[in-house]
Amino acid sequence: MTMTHTRAGAVRGREVVGGIQEFRGIPYAEPPIGERRFQPPLAREPWEGVRDAVDFGATAPQPAHGALEGLLPNRVHPGDDYLTLNVWTPDLWGSAPVMVFIHGGAFSTGSGSVSIYDGARFARDGVVLVTINYRLGVDGFLWTGEGVPNLGLLDQVAALEWVRDNIAAFGGDPGNITIFGESAGAMSVCTLMVMPRAKGLFHRAIAESGAGVSAISPESAKKVAARVGEVLGVEATREAIGAVPIERVLAAATQVSAEVSAKPRKRLWGDVARNLMLFEPVVDGEVLPGIPEDLLTAGVGNGVDLLIGTNSDEARLFFVPSGAIDRMPRVVASLFGWTYGARRPGTVRRYRRNRPGAGSGEIAAAIMTDGFYRMPALRLAEGHAGSFVYEFAWRSGAYDGRLGACHALELGFVFDALDDPAGAAMLGGPAPQELADAMHSAWVRFAATGDPGWPAYTPATRIAMRFDTVSGIVADDRADERALWRRP
């Protein structure tokens, strides 16, 4: 056992392999229940004695199973006291770089205690690694027009404030903090970069498969809230929805999410129809002053180093396991292009010409990958001076290789966790440890120095690191396809 002191009290963790010290389930805020539900997070009240920090504990309320169960690992454990974080450190008495990971899950699922996010390998390499929970779905991102919005984002800010105030007691340097996240976690990272309340809480940022366009208007948020209330048979207020048992609320949100996917019409859902995520950060003008991409390219967030990138076949995760990739009408590719900003005649023809023999679904997946993931990342890198860009291109062996370099596949490489059984289905067979070594070390190097090991991205050079079985620098890769896109 090992012990240290936070501002709220002493915590007892444990020593794991190689002398690394691990602390699980440390609360950074009061449980968001009762009168505290739908309110901004409150710092944890001090406790007496020593608090055991050897178990992960509860996770935020969320659906128990997702459509991609078995491919995307998750951990769901009911309970009220879930605004917690976990710390792995190489040395309680050091002053190491700190990395804080924000999990993905479409702002509706996930937790910081998924096994693949184990921070021991980061600690092994001289980093204090922190993973966090935050409010999800209705509790974190539903907004009816009343009270304070974006509570899930404010939870993330509260966790970062805890890191600033306490991480020195775990051997971390509060003057060298990097936030990183994947999918909705990456979208959170880009959002935190422009939030006034997060200013000064971190110094570097890494965004994996998410950028700065995933935010919605208050009017769009109200459309979602109105429909959730309608399904529940209650008024669309936080008080009325909060009085409904959480299981019914989760079921209602799942139903409404399916309705959005079935009929993604702007008249019905506003901005939500574009991103197909029921819950996203709301541009309220105070907690979130504007669309993150707009603010970042206008200079807000300067001073924070950025590493951003995407996977070559992101959208295949959503189309291959279900078989939808083989049933997709030809028109879907054009619809994706129009929705995300490639509206020039010949867009689909160009993508098809570059992929001889590809089916209609494969072309649609490539266009969605670029429109929703790759192009927003490149726009952000171009507008945020000194950014670094990567692309993850190693193809999974799953589904006879058709899953490709899909969404979330890079996580096992970033965390150097290829041996985690939870990620085996996604990998689909043997995976190159050398690639995990390269990605993981680049993330560690960036956190320590601000330089991942290749030149920054500029409009003149468009240099990026392409991670694959054989990794290397590319310059303006697929320039003909990039030129087709503009901001929608």
Give catalytic residues, as residue numbers. Answer: 183, 314, 407
Token reading at 107 = 């702002």
Cα(301)–Cα(298) distance, integer angstroms? 9
Q: What is the DSSP letter of 151?
A: H
Name the β-bridge partners of 177: 98
Per the CB < 8 A criterion, the answer to whether 291 and 213 are in contact is yes
Token pair 């965004």 in the structure block, residue = 207
Query: To which H or E segment does residue 21 belong?
Result: strand 21-27
Query: What are the start-end ranges of the H helices in 354-478?
Result: 360-368, 375-383, 411-414, 424-427, 433-449
CA angle, 140 then 145 then 151, to 5°: 20
CA angle, 112 then 113 then 117, to 5°: 75
Exposure of 480 in the CB half-sphere (CA atoms within 13 A):
9
Q: What is the DSSP letter of 46?
A: P
Exposure of 160 in the CB half-sphere (CA atoms within 13 A):
30
Q: What is the DSSP letter of 398?
A: G
What sign does the CA torsion over 51, 56, 62, 64 have? negative
Token reading at 104 = 């993905």
Torsion of CA 349, 350, 356, 361, to 10 degrees: -60
Token pair 């059984």 in the structure block, residue = 421
Other C-beta atoms closer than 10 Å to the C-beta of 40 total: 17
CA angle, 317 then 480 then 340, to 5°: 50
